Amino acid sequence: MSRALLFSSRHIGGASGTMCDVTSLKETLQADLTAAMKAGDDMLKSTLRMAIAAIMNAEVAGKEAVALTDDQVIKVLQAEAKKRVESAEIYEQNGRAEAAAKERAEAEILSKYLPAAIDDSVLADIVAEAVATAAAAGNVGMKAMGIVVKTVREKVGSSADGSKIADMVKAALG
């Protein structure tokens, strides 16, 4: 399913270019679930049900139930996609190719709802810039790791995996 179909409920309207009829990511997932049910797409249907359940669990976690923002929903979906990739690797190591293929298919479906991943070379440039800024402020070596990671996370948002950022920062600092 293409990205355009997945986000079909979002559009720009009017001469001013203002957003009209913008739905949340959770609402988009629910609309796509309905479409998958009507189309009889079992893989998409089960994956979207799992994703919506994970979002609902995150909403009721803690002392009070809250409605998640799109950024928080993206974080939940990223965690679910990462679980699918890790599960697929474990299944392959144990000779269960069909289970690994199912997990990879679910991860692919979830990735269509996530922002595009940042290119490694662009991320490396951002890390190098953050390391130089930290060094100019007197923070050098592994002591600067937290400062640099925080700076990089602010710049790239959810388009890069936290462990990838940490690994690149460690390599640049050490």
**Whole-prediction pTM:** 0.72
Q: What percent of the chain has pLDDT over 90?
A: 44
Is the pLDDT assigned to residue 12 strictly greater than 60?
no
Cβ atoms of 173 and 142 closer than 8 Å = yes
Tokens 């799992």 correspond to 50
Is the pLDDT assigned to residue 119 strictly greater than 90?
no
- Of 9, 53, 13, 40, the C-alpha closest to 27 is 9
- The rounded distance, in Å, linking the Cα atoms of 158 and 156 is 6
The predicted-structure confidence for 121-174, as pLDDT tens digits, reads as follows 888 899 889 888 888 888 788 888 888 888 888 888 878 888 888 888 888 887
The predicted-structure confidence for 77-95, as pLDDT tens digits, reads as follows 999 999 999 999 999 999 9
Say what the pLDDT of residue 2 is.
41
Q: What is the band of 7 on the pLDDT scale with cuts at 50, 70, 90?
A: very low
